[in-house]
Amino acid sequence: MNSSRIICACRMQIPKILAPASSSSPRFLQPLRNLQRGSIYKTEEAKKVKYFVVHKYIEYLKNYDKYMAKSIPVKIYRVFSEGLKLFISDLKDYFSVIQIIHSRRKPLSSLNRKELELYHQMPKDMRKLAPVLVIAALPIIPYVFFPLAYMFPKHFLTSHFWSLQERSKYSEDFLRKRLLHNKPVFRHLQSQINFMKVNCHPLFIPWTNILGMLGSGSHPSPEMILECKDLFQDEPYHLYYLSRNHIKHLVGIHDIHRGWFRRTRLADRATILIEMDKAIMREGGVHNLPIDALRNACLIRGLNPMNMKSEDMIKWLNSWIQISSEVDRESLSLLLHVPILLGYNQPTNWLLIYPPKQ
């Protein structure tokens, strides 16, 4: 076997496997999952840094409301004051969640659905708002910067500062950006078909059927998807074997910032999604979700809920949870691709990407 063919496509250091010269076994039959992989999960040091950053963030905001009152017009101050109160409230709740997980050593499964959604969303909100809060604290700057942020809330502020109409519009805008990564990821999935054919992979036919359905405008059933679960546990679709470009677009689909350790953060995102799904089931199932929570759950998972019937959203989420309930630590990549496998041809998603011409 040519050892160069089993080097991880993602430029991470994975040991080469040298098979005996007489070996003719296709490479997917090798025990790749037993390789001595580096961890793609967060270390304790990283968790401590996260805890420290959130604590300092809260300290920084303690007297920020008084500072704003002196620096900006009354009309703008009201918007920022109310938004800041909501943000600080969520930040304190997020800090409590981190304490539960990191200080008390409790698992994510100890959190309820709302706490998990906060754990999912707040890091993004903190990153987005931090530059605004720091820059606006500089001398003279607030007289210009606060009005600027007020005029362009989508770009400078978080949902805590938005009106109901803005929340609806901006959530669609942000989802549209995520959905633009669907097609490149689908193309990457298709690109591995030849590898499977050459190696006579036993899942070649069922997987080809799934991709054919997606290409012709329909979706596979959860049962069909789970039949191909092994493809995401080793080559070609485990996180370690995905190309850099494939990872880049997966990061875009799941709205993760494009910094370092993308595979680590994708694995973390999949883990959080699994725990969210478990929390939904612990709290009575999808059909018991309030309508706003139902729509938000769809948005998080890459489905546009606008103009969808409640029963259609419930059916889609139940299909998602049917798959996520079978995903384990080694098959996290499968869940990361479910937005494609279950959502690629959803009419509401296509309308968002390709709105009808006026």
- Residues 47, 52, 57, 58: is their CA dihedral positive or negative? positive
Which of 9-23, 90-104, 135-149, 226-240 has maximum average pLDDT? 226-240
Q: Are 126 and 60 in contact (CB under 8 A)?
A: no
pLDDT of residue 147: 83
CB neighbourhood size of 102 (10 A): 14
Q: Do the Cβ atoms of 203 and 230 come closer than 8 Å?
A: yes
Convert the pLDDT of each residue in 109-142 to its tens digit.
889 999 999 999 999 999 999 988 888 777 777 7
Residues 49-65 have a mean pLDDT of 71
The torsion of the CA quartet 207, 212, 218, 220, rounded to 10 degrees, works out to -10
Query: Strand, helix or coil at 15?
Result: coil
Res. 104 pLDDT band, cuts 50 70 90: low
Q: Rg of the Cα trace of the chain?
A: 23
Higher pLDDT, 169 or 6: 169
**pTM beyond 0.85, yes or no:** no
DSSP string, 120-172: HHHHHHHHHHHHHHHHTTSSSTHHHHHHHHHH-HHHH--GGG--HHHHHHHHH
The C-alpha atoms of residue 313 and residue 265 are separated, in whole angstroms, by 27
Q: What does the buried/exposed string (b/e) look like for 169-187 if buried means 16 or more CB atoms within 10 Å of the residue's CB?
A: ebbeeebeebbebbebbbe
Please report the pLDDT score of residue 1 as a whole number: 42
User: Residue 244 has what pLDDT?
Assistant: 95
More confident residue, 76 or 278: 278
Task: For residue 288, give every residue at least 6 positions away whose Cβ sits within 8 Å of its Cβ, in sequence order, or none.
Answer: none
Q: What is the DSSP string of 249-277?
A: HHHHHTT--SSS-HHHHHHHHHHHHHHHH
Q: Are 310 and 213 in contact (CB under 8 A)?
A: no
CB count, 10 Å around CB of 36?
6
- Cβ partners under 8 Å of residue 34, min gap 6: none
pLDDT for residue 45: 62
Distances (CA, A) of 276 to 262, 283, 319: 21, 11, 14
Name the DSSP class of 114.
Answer: H
Say how far apart CA 210 and CA 232 lie, in whole Å: 14
pLDDT tens readout for residues 176-197: 999 999 999 999 999 999 999 9
pLDDT of residue 44: 59
